[in-house]
Structure 1
């Protein structure tokens, strides 16, 4: 009876794995650098797709935890002056725009750094678009102003969304995601701030 039970359990596991594979997206090959658009802000960023990192990472500064409805949240800013990839109509300078965001904290991670103290990072869920397709994944928040790319996409995203990487090429995506110009983004952000202020009054 024990052997029969083990065989049954094994068969059920194989069936579940097969069903999961059926539900998975068909594989898509992208370059090691692609355009990423944050869904809630329409902010376009260059993202490096890195198989050496498990969790994705997003450039953010002034990262502050706070409590909301008894749960842990984090507020943070994305200064566009650090990475000037957002298309502009020439009316504004990237240095003029700082996006302010809030997200619930999914978890925290402790990053060990060679020759430097360990760093605590907050991890949040973010919606984004790449290659014309919407995705959601975890991003750790950290200051990436000294790096070439403000966003990094790691293995968790690649595994969950069946993404393959061509390490010899970049910007291979055949479809684009919708994004705003710097001026459109600034106007939308200003309107959101006014709405939030009115709601708090």
Structure 2
């Protein structure tokens, strides 16, 4: 009987503490007003002010960024990766003159966060590098992990996945696009042309 009473007491205390935690978590979530974005939005990469069209995809966990010539290297004992973003693959940057998108290729270097193995139907599995990047969407700065992949044949050079939505409390309206109430500052094609002639973006 004593053992039974002790078991009942422990169970009751566990249930009570669980309810308190759940209530506190619910209150915390309620205090954070979710931001509603469309399934397609503009993003601006923070280091370059490069504007890219992004798709918010709840079916993907990790975000993805268009990149080519992805090459790993070692820097100060750590694994880094270099990659390029050719603007000719997605001509979304506004221009003020006669410069063509095809003439600009931005070069980046980032430390590797991790690697992921992507299984592809009818093709060999592909290992992708994941890096952390800052970007602006809806007038706010965010940071998330991006897997680097050649998205040249896709309509959207950026894909934002559930990890970003969960961490930054984002809801997606799948019936509308470009719903962000605020815009992010971005560079013109001419400004990016000058930057592409400078040093590698780190």
TM-score (norm 2): 0.87
- For 1:40, the equivalent position in structure 2 comes to 47
| CA distance in structure 1 between the aligned counterparts of 2:18 and 2:66, rounded to whole angstroms | 44
Change (3 A) 1:120 1:16: farther
* Matched positions, count: 194
- For 2:155, the equivalent position in structure 1 comes to 148
Q: 1:109-160 CA deviation, whole Å, 9 max, x = no partner?
A: 0011111111101111100000111100110000000101100001111111
Tell me which of 18, 25, 38 is aligned to 1:17: 25
Q: Where does the alignment leave 5 or more consecutive residues of structure 2 unmatched? A: 1-5
- For 1:67, the equivalent position in structure 2 comes to 74
- For 2:197, the equivalent position in structure 1 comes to 190
Bigger mean CA offset, 10-19 vs 85-94:
10-19
| CA distance in structure 1 between the aligned counterparts of 2:158 and 2:120, rounded to whole angstroms | 19
Q: 1:26-76 CA deviation, whole Å, 9 max, x = no partner?
A: 211111111000000100000011111111000000000111111111100
| CA distance in structure 2 between the aligned counterparts of 1:8 and 1:73, rounded to whole angstroms | 48
**Runs (4+) off by over 6 Å:** none
| CA distance in structure 1 between the aligned counterparts of 2:115 and 2:70, rounded to whole angstroms | 13
- For 1:123, the equivalent position in structure 2 comes to 130
Tell me which of 113, 117, 134 is aligned to 2:141: 134
Q: Where does the alignment leave 5 or more consecutive residues of structure 1 unmatched? A: 197-201
- For 2:108, the equivalent position in structure 1 comes to 101
RMSD after superposition: 2.2
| CA distance in structure 2 between the aligned counterparts of 1:101 and 1:21, rounded to whole angstroms | 36
Shift of 1:174: 1.4
Q: 1:71-123 CA deviation, whole Å, 9 max, x = no partner?
A: 11110000001001001112311001000001111111001111111110111
TM-score (norm 1): 0.88
Higher alpha-carbon Rg: 2
